[in-house]
Structure 1
């Protein structure tokens, strides 16, 4: 256990913002989504703006007086809500082998339609703390109303980024899930597997955590979410939250924008059931895929060589393990955020409990790193 909170708190620079945050109890919807570490050892956490009042959507963890706090990254100005040129709502992001951060901006705040220009890929060089690029994701690629840009993987060797669109950005309406491919060289996007069965919710899917139905008042419907790229960059793995299957497709088909959409749809392979529903995934440099286990309260591993799924680590406090990544020192890092309890109606969280939100580390092996560092 690296860090833990009863609820998130920020290192506020503006006393007025701090007063509003506390008076309105905005922390009740401040959910740490993904955790990663850079080459300097700094830890980062995204906090998507799925409700009003989130101070900063991208953050670095700082420790002051022994207490972990969030510090707006790269600055408070870069986290100003309402300004489509800066970060509006970040869920998924990646830190690549060049120490560049790829931020996927959902654009939407509190599930409103994404304003034009707000959906984007922002690339930030952590070595020199400088903006590299900001690429808008247009409406015809990720519809502003229905899109829910979830997570991404980066392939610098071939010059591509792969993005999951969960398609649940318009609550109480049908999902529009899909995969988005970005060509770094041409700076163009292509949407594939739009509303394909593998990127949609499994019909009628429900699940329990600790024998308690998740979202009892309404069925959970989240399409393509977890995504992982194999160490050799040839296979793209992905899965919906509303289902237990893991899917894969040959990434080489996706890299050729002339590949017919029908051919791509026919090339999807169902690997099989993980035995749990999953949020985040991440591949290592050995060919394995680590996946979060929502029902299993932990993290599991898929071994393509043996075509086997098996649990890796679990703890009763690992309630809704969201993201998983690597520290490049032999360990995975991951976080749990009790999403299902935070956003249930009413919230089911005891906010006095000191271990509501936790960042964990688990040793895998001396030479185990992220897929990004595969030779």
Structure 2
């Protein structure tokens, strides 16, 4: 039903220069190099984002290459395009999407090591995987995603109607009030709009605490993350989302979001609470048949929501699935997802770096006709 595609004790790169590898090893940068989201393109090439939540991460966007039988990361689209401190190229990517036209939509958080985003660093970069060329780069300004508090998390793409929906977790600085929200990008007008700003559904659930393996997560300073996971129904009519520190699933009709004249108050009042997933969730992805797959942090695996009867189900679970992050579809009826031990890597827990299964990319079969929402 499910299997491991590849795994690491710690991430390693196919470095172009020996000095880069030496710096990576000497400074133990690998201790904060975390694979955040995994996706596969139409040619079957796997990609992995590694956000720069700590200084020194070699490349934030990568593809997986195999050298001497070992899976390594290689900067994508190039090493130059991953130059830290150069705002017009990729600074820190967490969420991204590969659409039905084989275009990659990269959401650049801009900020590194939780420092304020530099002007021009927050952006939506569109890359054509067929021609390996830049299509467009849209800057997301501070009035849409505040440079201090923004934490651009994930996105979904609606090419049929010409919109992109983005979650801003609003947790860009632990000492500032959280400011979650949803950002809408209109492809035809190239304009951005922020909605559901600090709405209860995009904020962290008050006083929320959770455990993984009966251990409190970030016990000394509990996690506070607003809007995080996001998914779009195959008919493009419903946007689903959730906060990371909370268990509820929320939904809103996209017709309201596509109408730029719609009052913010009316959008606020249209949010539906679909119920509890029974687990905290990071990544989500809808299929072409009315199911919404979501990561189960507490449940150590993947669950799914059946939109037809509004029911929640467990799909797959494994004790090695520690902090399941991104989830996506391949072109062969399976979901792919990764577990990265985020709560331990950025918490107070000690990691056994000799464990070959610290970081894992998984595959689980759904059905021969199961595909991403993009093909609905």
- TM tier relative to shorter chain: over 0.9
**CA offsets 1:114-137 (integer angstroms, 9 cap, x no match):** 000000000000001000000000
Task: State the distance in 2 between where 1:291 and 1:40 align.
Answer: 25
Taking the aligned partners of 1:151 and 1:287, their CA distance within structure 2 comes to: 20
Aligned pairs, how many? Answer: 373
1:348 Cα offset (Å): 2.0
State the Cα distance separating 1:55 from its structure 2 match: 0.1
Q: In structure 2, what is the Cα distance between the partners aligned to 1:262 and 1:14? A: 54
Selected match of 1:172 from 172, 175, 178: 175
Deviation, 1:172, is 2.3
Report SS of the residue matched to 1:233. coil
Distance in 2 between residues matched to 1:14 and 1:190, nearest whole Å: 42
Name the counterpart of 1:92: 95
1:138 and 2:141 are equivalent in the alignment: yes
| Partners of 1:285 and 1:128 in 2: CA distance | 27
Q: 1:101 aligned to 2:101?
A: no
Partner of 1:354: 356
Residue 114 of structure 1 corresponds to which residue in structure 2?
A: 117
Q: Measure the CA separation in 2 of the matches of 1:287 and 1:351.
A: 40
Give the Å deviation of 1:16. Answer: 1.0
CA distance in 2, matches of 1:348, 1:193: 38
Alignment partner of 2:55 out of 33, 52, 60: 52
Residue 162 of structure 1 pairs with residue 165 of structure 2: yes
2 CA distance for matches of 1:321 and 1:299? Answer: 8
Q: 1:150, 1:338 → 2: CA distance?
A: 18
CA distance in structure 2 between the partners assigned to 1:227 and 1:43 by the alignment: 21
TM-score (norm 1): 0.99
* Aligned position for 1:369: 371
Measure, in 2, the Cα distance between the counterparts of 1:249 and 1:348: 40
Q: Distance in 1 between matches of 2:351 and 2:185?
A: 39
Report deviation, 1:17.
1.0
Aligned equivalent of 1:78: 81
User: 1:287 is matched with which residue?
Assistant: 290
Give SS of 2:344's match: helix
- Structure 1: 5+ residue stretches without partners: none
Query: How many Å separate the matches in 2 of 1:171 and 1:11?
Result: 34
TM-score, normalization by structure 2: 0.99
Q: CA deviation at 1:57?
A: 0.1
Q: Which of 35, 42, 48 lines up with 1:39 in the alignment?
A: 42
Partner of 2:315: 312
| Structure 2, unpaired ranges of 5+ | none
RMSD value, Cα:
0.5
Where has structure 1 moved over 3 Å in runs of 4 or more? Answer: none
TM-aligned CA deviation for residue 306 of structure 1: 1.4
Instruction: Measure, in 2, the Cα distance between the counterparts of 1:231 and 1:172.
Output: 39
Aligned-pair CA distance for 1:145: 0.6
Query: C-alpha offsets along residues 203-242 of structure 1, whole Å, 9 cap, x if unaligned?
Result: 0000000000000111110000000000100000000000
TM alignment of 1:211-250, pairs within 5 A? 211-250=214-253
Does 1:11 pair with 2:11?
no
Distance 1:313 1:303 in 2: 15
Q: What CA distance in whole angstroms lies between the structure 1 residues aligned with 2:367 and 2:331?
A: 10
Counterpart of 1:128 in structure 2 is 131
Q: Secondary structure at the match of 1:2?
A: strand
Aligned pairs for 1:193-272 within 5 A: 193-272=196-275
Partner of 2:298: helix, strand, or coil? Answer: coil
Distance 1:348 1:295 in 2: 19
Deviations 1:270-291 (A, max 9, x none): 0000000000000000111000
| DSSP 3-state at the match of 2:74 | strand
What is the match of residue 64 of structure 1? 67
Give distance in 2, aligned partners of 1:319 and 1:172.
27
